[in-house]
Amino acid sequence: MELFRRASKVIPGGIYGHASPAAGLPNAFPYYAERAKGCKYWDVDGREYLDFMCGYGTISLGYGHPAVEEAAAKQREKGSIFNHPSALMPELAETLTELIEFADWAVFGKNGSDMTTWAVQVAREFTGRKKILKIQGAYHGVDPWCTPGSGGIIEEDVAHIHPFPWNDLEAFQTLVARYRGEVAALIITPFHHPSFGDSEMPEEDFFQQIEKVCRKEEILLILDDIRAGFRLALEGSHTYFGFEPDIACYCKALGNGYNISATLGREYLRVSATKVFLTGSYWNDAVSMAASLICLREMQSAKLPSHLEKLGRKLIKGIGNEALGHGFKMRFSGPPAMPFMRFADEKNFFQLQRFCALAATEGVFLHPHHNWFLSAAHTAIDIDHAIEAASRAFALLAKEQ
Amino acid sequence: MELFRRASKVIPGGIYGHASPAAGLPNAFPYYAERAKGCKYWDVDGREYLDFMCGYGTISLGYGHPAVEEAAAKQREKGSIFNHPSALMPELAETLTELIEFADWAVFGKNGSDMTTWAVQVAREFTGRKKILKIQGAYHGVDPWCTPGSGGIIEEDVAHIHPFPWNDLEAFQTLVARYRGEVAALIITPFHHPSFGDSEMPEEDFFQQIEKVCRKEEILLILDDIRAGFRLALEGSHTYFGFEPDIACYCKALGNGYNISATLGREYLRVSATKVFLTGSYWNDAVSMAASLICLREMQSAKLPSHLEKLGRKLIKGIGNEALGHGFKMRFSGPPAMPFMRFADEKNFFQLQRFCALAATEGVFLHPHHNWFLSAAHTAIDIDHAIEAASRAFALLAKEQ
């Protein structure tokens, strides 16, 4: 709190963005992290937390994973930022295009937004069309065309961005018909994971219908796999749901905390891709690419998606049962590997915030309005501990009522 | 070349963006870097280069600077990406707002573009106005409103972006008069450093007149100090030229290769700053902030700006003399710390590309269409070596004619 008071003097809001305590757990700690290892972290007051956010998904193998750190350290001896790429860049592009079958090429950036914004430009360049369809409430980054905020946004930023509700094929087809011949792309996440709202899985045949219409109308299908990528399927989340995008953007899980994002695309977009300027001083960073290469290998040997699904199922079943035992009913949504939890009858998030604050005092960090993340470092025993802590938090919450 | 052929299969263009050899030194090596140390680097074929690009400016102290690496390693033991910021974030904000006097607060990102785009949004939010003035040909990043490329750009992206020529106060005042009450901000670099063109310094009184008009018309003055920051003056390049911005963006030199960017602003913009959504999964990265804190301290003890100016003067004087000795005349522009060189009589860049290719074979990396960068790791002896290598390259060039 002392740090937050200091920060509030020199940083607007003290802490901003996704880590803002005001939006997450207001007046409940942790606010500042001190260190992390595996699936645990410690705040600046020395309190330990069993973590279910994994650096908002960037930690796929566990904090400070030995093999990734070793590869990064080895590359760091040689250097990270040069005037040129390193040999790791073609190697990483080869690895990714082999793993993710639909893709013929790859490019790299730093933020998820770097990639979604560029992908939208490539689609506009390729099609010569302006309009972009997206899902209502879907998060694709902070750039003006897609930011969830309204501050500083002008009407021109979103003049050709047209949202429709998740799973609403009729609304999608209405937009396609209204703007026939004007739509460059649909950008979509593999499942709907808004903040402050239940996750929604695609209905039977949703993506197949989407894909069919896109092919027919020559609308590019951009998969924003930044949040879910490598957690549902190592070969790309589209393989989990049975469709094929034209372009896909990845980030989070790709580097186990080392800063990298990637866009993969099909052969026929290659020329358009070279026409949309893409660069950043740090984007050829060899250390992140070394980390990413090992991270991909380790996610494969850990069989990450099935590991996360198994532990996720155990977690939501256990927490759900403990809730019932204390007179609460929880609703879980989204894939078990990235679950979203709320109180079944609560329309706002106040009780959930209180529960998560109590869970934090019991040593488990659970987020009240964002899907959770697990990692390869979590074990069945960690899940048991989390369920026990949640049980104690439910007991405290029941007492407060 | 073998790597480039491999890369060309899986990466559009093989190498893209600022590092593209097609734009820089086509068919002349180096294409891929292997390692770097101090002011030198080695390509994948083992050739050594004395470097005058410093990772396009990101390397301010020298590659692999011991104190920065030590601080980064120490923080890395604790962790880099967490669910929350670390205590280093308020510390870095305090350090920067103390050093850069006009500023009352700071926020952090990863790319330069993250910051310039956000600053433009803050200006729009604060003023409720749409229009942004900028300098013709000035580089502010790759986002659609400012990218130098045209691929994938639609008219709405730049509908309210109005360029005028550097040093042209009349054109500036004409735009201000035409759009009176509609201009949110002027975004401007401290000197004009286009690619493929001479650098231009501000004319006597240019910034003072700019500042006066901005204050009178309530137009925010955004300083894009991403490229020049900390190299001309540690207290911000505006102090070098005697004016005060409302917002300033920094990046490159700030972390000696550790990926960080920052925006600093005045008190009265604080509320607007909290209203423009700003976030990224990696933006609270504690390792980059640890590196940045030490980098700032080391730039101060190295008296970086005067060191760079002294060596830069020596470099351009030496190369200029060697050119004359071989029958060539060079034109240098920009501050000596970040010089831009071209053949005095050449309208295109072909001879310059050839010269830089020959200089590379002689062991010095000089860029043919971008300003150069020096670092604290360069010594007077390095400059002597560079001048000797340039002399040999001029001799080879003279023979070819």
Measured CA to CA, the distance from residue A365 to residue B84 in angstroms comes to 11
Q: Specify the pTM.
A: 0.97
Q: How confident is the model at residue B29 (pLDDT cuts 50, 70, 90)?
A: confident
Beta bridge partners of A365: A51
pLDDT at B254: 98
Measured CA to CA, the distance from residue A171 to residue A186 in angstroms comes to 13
Residues of chain B contacting residue A79, judged by C-beta atoms under 8 Å apart: 33, 35-37, 41, 63-64, 257
Instruction: Please tell me whether residue B352 adopts helix, strand or coil conformation.
Output: helix
Residues of chain A contacting residue B111, judged by C-beta atoms under 8 Å apart: 110-111, 114, 280-282
CB contact under 8 A, B142 and A53: no
Q: Residue A339 above 80 pLDDT? A: yes
Rounding to the nearest 10 degrees, give the CA dihedral for residues B83, B87, B90, B94.
-160
pLDDT at A192: 98
Q: How confident is the model at residue B393 (pLDDT cuts 50, 70, 90)?
A: very high
Measured CA to CA, the distance from residue B79 to residue A49 in angstroms comes to 15
CB contact under 8 A, A152 and B15: no
CB contact under 8 A, B281 and A18: yes
Q: Residue A379 above 80 pLDDT? A: yes
Measured CA to CA, the distance from residue B343 to residue B352 in angstroms comes to 7
| CATH numbers and ranges of domains, chain B | 2-61+303-400 (3.90.1150.10), 66-301 (3.40.640.10)
How many CA atoms does the CB half-sphere of A376 hold within 13 Å? Answer: 26
Q: What angle do CA A365, A261, B226 make, to 5 degrees?
A: 100
Query: Minimal Cα–Cα distance from A58 to chain B, Å?
Result: 7
Helix, strand, coil shares of chain B, percent, nearest 5, are 40, 15, 45
Residues of chain A contacting residue B156, judged by C-beta atoms under 8 Å apart: 130, 156-157, 159-160
Which two three-digit tokens encode residue B14? Answer: 């093989």
Q: Which amino acid is at B112?
A: G
For an interface test with B, the pick among A59, A81, A92, A130 (most B C-beta atoms closer than 10 Å) comes out as: A81
Phi, psi for residue B240 in degrees, rounded to 5: -70, -35
Query: Minimal Cα–Cα distance from A281 to chain B, Å?
Result: 7
Cβ atoms within 10 Å, residue B290: 26
Residues of chain A contacting residue B273, judged by C-beta atoms under 8 Å apart: 12-13
Cβ atoms A157, A145 nearer than 8 A: yes
Residues of chain B contacting residue A283, judged by C-beta atoms under 8 Å apart: 17
Measured CA to CA, the distance from residue A164 to residue A143 in angstroms comes to 19
Query: Minimal Cα–Cα distance from A96 to chain B, Å?
Result: 9
pLDDT tens track for B333-381:
999 999 999 999 988 889 999 999 999 999 999 999 999 999 999 999 9
Q: Environment class of residue B329 by beta-carbon count within 10 Å: exposed (0-12), middle (13-18) or buried (19+)?
A: exposed
For an interface test with A, the pick among B2, B4, B10, B41 (most A C-beta atoms closer than 10 Å) comes out as: B10
Q: What angle do CA A383, A387, A391 make, to 5 degrees?
A: 170
Which residue in the set A9, A69, A130 is minimally distant from B154, CB to CB?
A: A130
CB contact under 8 A, B117 and A13: no
Measured CA to CA, the distance from residue B320 to residue B391 in angstroms comes to 10
Q: Residue A399 above 90 pLDDT? A: yes
pLDDT tens track for B252-306:
999 999 999 999 999 999 999 999 999 999 999 999 999 999 999 999 999 999 9
Closest residue in chain B to residue A20, using alpha carbons only = B84
Q: Which amino acid is at B24?
A: G
Residues of chain B contacting residue A274, judged by C-beta atoms under 8 Å apart: 12-13, 16
Q: Please list, residue by residue across B166-199, b when 16 or more beta carbons sit within 10 angstroms of its beta carbon and e when fewer do.
A: beeeebbeebbeebeeebbbbbbbbbbbbeeeeb
Q: Residue B318 above 90 pLDDT? A: yes
Measured CA to CA, the distance from residue A1 to residue A364 in angstroms comes to 19
Instruction: Please tell me whether residue B364 adopts helix, strand or coil conformation.
Output: strand
Q: How confident is the model at residue A350 (pLDDT cuts 50, 70, 90)?
A: very high
CB contact under 8 A, A16 and B58: no
Residues whose CB is less than 8 angstroms from the CB of residue B304 and which lie 6 or more positions away in sequence, other chains included = B60, B61, B230, B231, B234, B253, B376
pLDDT at A21: 83
Which residue in the set A16, A106, A156 is minimally distant from B278, CB to CB?
A: A16
CB contact under 8 A, B94 and A6: yes
Q: Which amino acid is at B89?
A: M
Measured CA to CA, the distance from residue A228 to residue A226 in angstroms comes to 6
